[in-house]
Structure 1
Amino acid sequence: MLETSARLLRLLSLLQARPEWTGPELAERLGVTTRTVRRDVDKLRGLDYPVEVDYGPGGGYRLGSGAALPPLLLDDDEAVAVAVTLRTAAGSGVAGTGETALAALLKLERILPSRLRHRVAAMPVATVAPRVASPVDPSVLAVLGAACHDRRVLEVDYTARDGASTRRRIEPVHLVAWGRRWYLAAWDRDRDDWRTLRVDRLVPRLGPDGLPTGPRFAPRAIPGGDPAAFVARRVADVRPFRSVVRVEAPAERVRQTIWTDQVRIEALGPDACRVALSTDDARAAGIILTGLDADFVVESPDALVDELREIAARYERAAGPSPGQPTAPPTSQPIP
């Protein structure tokens, strides 16, 4: 009985690890006959695991989606990865995930072997909640992810930056978390062009079952081939105030320090880079640049130079006189 139970767990783990297996492949992995594999699959199905079977040439076994979530089998590295990911979920910008992730983490940590709990605890992970980004509805992310995977046309209501609302028919291709926001790279059928849409500004139109109703589409190659790079190029220049500075620091260090997603960074050598910022105004650009902890020179525009002078004067007033610097003598009052 113990051998059969252990084999069932091993079979379940294999089915969870890959989309589909043939009977001979599973038999070889388990060291049994294909007939035993069929019997074990029947036992799993009797335990309400949704194992689907395709008969005939090229057919095989796969774990489908059922009415309830079945238990998952994770190896040591997978369990640690899941636990660390749950710890960082509070900073994802997805609405409502903080408490849910914590509850899932507590359940997972209760059943982790002590050796794995120590590994998770030793991970130097800290979470910081997003500063100003609008939270994203996790159900919207799920719908968009499914539409990308299934290649289904979506009809969405989209609110632009200026508040204008439009209805769009799009071919969703890829979700990208960039900076403090989520974006969707998609082909806009009405505009016949690629678009980058902020997920917190769109509402998908769905059928009564909550699923996309659009037809399937043939996938298009995203410009440049890299969805993250495509989104980065599109979202880096959407603010009205543009500025360019040369920073005396490595590009990678600046990239890790600067917190806005409206930025382009070009390496100029091992110890210098050029930073192009898009912000709402000169004051926002000045605040970002003063947080770099590195020397920089303004290349354009002059309005940024004027703003930095005001910031410098404000800092100087806040710091007060230097040690040893004479201060204004007190005003004398006549003694009555």
Structure 2
Amino acid sequence: MSESTTTSRVLSLLNLLQTHRHWSGTELAQRLGITGRTLRRDVERLRELGYRIESAPGTHGGYRLEAGASIPPLLLTDDEAVTMAIGLRVAATQGLADGALTTLTALAKLEQVLPAALRSRVNALAGHVQPVHPDVPAVTPEVLGKLALACRDRERIRFHYVAANGAETDRVVEPHSLVAAQRYWFLVAWDLHREAWRTFRVDRLEKFFATRVQFEPRELPAGDAAEFVAAAVSSLLGTVTAEVVMDLPIERMREYFGPWAKGARSVGAFKTAWPIEGRSPHELISSLAWIPEGVQYEVRGDAATTAFLREAAERMLNATRN
């Protein structure tokens, strides 16, 4: 067998160890299409490279990747690793569209192998990074990382939760996904005590505890987790909606708005209908402000919403007159 084939196989093994908390030896060997003896040799190769891989014999034994005393060969210096971790933490706390889960997964993978000394540096430096939206409750990056790992590993978790009305409860859930919506992080999970799907604002979650008990995944009653959260948030916040019809072909509109063009549809060859929403009519104004200069548009909504927008526009116009 060539050296390149061995290297490729070892890298595939490393990727599997990084994407799941625990693997049985049999399952790893089957995934890689190798024998148990070859698997053991490949694990030793990774250990020689600096990766700490814990192994346990027996029927329920297997392999798991542990944090080491030094950074494994990721082609990163200590300073580069710290910078990357801080950057991922900042990205994770900003609720970026189309990439939130990728950000958390990358952060979880990196912090899983950071030695204690570098993790302390990350914590100290990241504590001085201010969020873009200071009015939004801060979410501890460590909690986001732990929740992402729990979702990935299908591990039941316990936590103390403070609801919007101040009610405090202790929950045991099977986590499904983390979703960024309305500038908050939400955990989608199956609540074992209530026997139902629930969404939890992560900033209201305290005393997180990993049970190390795994579970079989359940079918989410929605197309995806983001859709489930959107429905839950709309029902809780009483979302105000409207539709903007702008003189802009849908291709150009999507190019300009990027991920915020979600839900847009073509209206003829040169117009686009764009749904907007907010917790109040005030938030709709911020959406309208992003329409490109020179583009004519019409707002369609209920009488109360359009009346509010008309009055707000008149006040802004009067305020700019000299």
TM-score under structure 2 normalisation? 0.61
Q: Counterpart in 2 of 1:177?
A: 180
Write the distance in 2 (CA, Å) between the matches of 1:179 and 1:21. Answer: 43
Gaps of 5+ in 1: 28-33, 105-127, 207-211, 322-336
Q: Counterpart in 2 of 1:223?
A: 221
Q: Tell me if the contact between 1:152 and 1:216 (Cα under 8 Å) persists in the aligned partners.
A: yes
Q: Counterpart in 2 of 1:194?
A: 197
* Residues 63-102 of structure 1 mapped to structure 2, 5 A cutoff: 64-68=65-69, 70-73=71-74, 87=87, 89-93=89-93
Q: Tell me if the contact between 2:93 and 2:141 (Cα under 8 Å) persists in the aligned partners.
A: no
Q: Tell me if the contact between 1:21 and 1:61 (Cα under 8 Å) persists in the aligned partners.
A: no
Q: 2:52 aligns with which of 50, 53, 57?
A: 50
Q: Counterpart in 1 of 2:231?
A: 233
Decide which structure has greater helix share: 2
Q: Counterpart in 1 of 2:291?
A: 292
Q: Counterpart in 2 of 1:310?
A: 311
Percentage of pairs with the same residue = 29
Q: Does 1:159 align with 2:157?
A: no
3-state SS in 2 of match to 1:306: helix
Q: How many residues align?
A: 265
* Superposed displacement of residue 137, structure 1: 0.8
Write the distance in 1 (CA, Å) between the matches of 2:29 and 2:166. Answer: 50
* Residues 12-161 of structure 1 mapped to structure 2, 5 A cutoff: 13=11, 15-19=13-17, 20-21=28-29, 42=44, 45=47, 49-51=51-53, 64-68=65-69, 70-73=71-74, 87=87, 89-93=89-93, 129-131=131-133, 132-161=135-164
TM-score under structure 1 normalisation? 0.59
* Superposed displacement of residue 183, structure 1: 1.5
Superimposed CA distance per residue, residues 231-290 of structure 1 (whole angstroms, 9 cap, x where no aligned partner): 33333454335232232243636854859xxxx83524463224141323x333334334
* Superposed displacement of residue 84, structure 1: 8.0
Q: Tell me if the contact between 2:136 and 2:184 (Cα under 8 Å) persists in the aligned partners.
A: yes
Say which one has the larger Rg: 1
* Superposed displacement of residue 142, structure 1: 2.7
Structure 1's 220 and 139: CA in aligned 2 closer, same or farther, altered over 3 A?
A: same
Q: Tell me if the contact between 2:54 and 2:66 (Cα under 8 Å) persists in the aligned partners.
A: no
Write the distance in 1 (CA, Å) between the matches of 2:52 and 2:186. Answer: 33
Q: Tell me if the contact between 1:94 and 1:137 (Cα under 8 Å) persists in the aligned partners.
A: no
Write the distance in 1 (CA, Å) between the matches of 2:256 and 2:51. Answer: 50
Q: Tell me if the contact between 1:91 and 1:130 (Cα under 8 Å) persists in the aligned partners.
A: no
Write the distance in 2 (CA, Å) between the matches of 1:245 and 1:43. Answer: 59
Structure 1's 134 and 253: CA in aligned 2 closer, same or farther, altered over 3 A?
A: farther
3-state SS in 2 of match to 1:265: coil
Q: Counterpart in 2 of 1:283?
A: 282
Q: CA RMSD in A?
A: 4.8
Gaps of 5+ in 2: 18-27, 96-102, 111-129
Write the distance in 2 (CA, Å) between the matches of 1:257 and 1:40. Answer: 42
